[in-house]
Amino acid sequence: MSCFGMNKDPDRINERKRMVEEQIKVRGVSDERVIKAMLEVPRHRFVAPSQQVFAYEDQPLPIGYGQTISQPYIVAFMIEALETSPSDRVLEIGTGSGYAAAVLSRVAAEVYSIETVAPLAEGAKKTIEDLGYTNVSLRTGDGTKGWPEAAPFDAILISAGAPVVPESLVGQLTPGGRLVIPVGDRIDQRLLRITRSVNGELQEDELAIVRFVPLIGAEGW
């Protein structure tokens, strides 16, 4: 953001270019569709006025209600790990600000996202509507049971830290579907990718160590 005189970059595209170069590509995210989505989605629209100057910093930011919008790199890394194709239907648990759902909506056909904190869900809905992203469906409630009426999903992203992998969510994956989830204690988690093979077998890969706010619910904390 320019500090003096007229703002020459109201959409903050130059800050997003820097974010992608200095935080995301250098750490190994290379999927062109994910990079394009990270350049396109205006992250600053998902954060409060008091956080505007930090919107493109290499860190999570508070969004109220004790919750956070994840660090840009983590969002890009998790979405790359989901290996989405343009025709995919995706479920996200933990809408928060709506930022990750918005990025997902650029790399998939349809996004469904669930948030427990009603005011956050409402804020996310408004931001996503204002941006004109029409392929996102939002719902308020406990996401650990998934979204059975819209299942199955080609990809599922859990944006909060879970004690175990919720069985209901694994059950809502298509054959060949991928689920990315932080699993661990309330402080640190292992970021896991669960892949359901076409014959139904589950494969688990550990991708990173991460730090997320807790997943609270029937199959969470």
Query: H/E element holding 74?
Result: helix 72-81
Choice between 40 and 176, CB closer to ligand SAH: 40
Choice between 92 and 154, CB closer to ligand SAH: 92
Asked, as a colleague might, if the bond just before 72 is cis with ω within 30 of 0, I would say: no
Question: Is 70 known to be catalytic?
Answer: yes
CB of 175 to ligand SAH, least distance (A): 25
Contact indicator for 36, 106 with CB cutoff of 8 Å? yes
CB of 74 to ligand SAH, least distance (A): 9
DSSP SS3 for 69: strand
Please identify which of the residues 2, 30, 70, 197 carries the catalytic annotation.
70
Q: Which residues bind ligand SAH (CB under 6 A)?
A: 67-70, 93-94, 96-97, 99-100, 114-117, 120, 142-144, 159-160, 213, 215-217, 220
Is 56 buried (19+), middle (13-18) or exposed (0-12) by CB count in 10 A? Answer: buried
CB of 43 to ligand SAH, least distance (A): 9
Distance CA 176, CA 201 (A): 9
Enzyme catalytic residues: 70
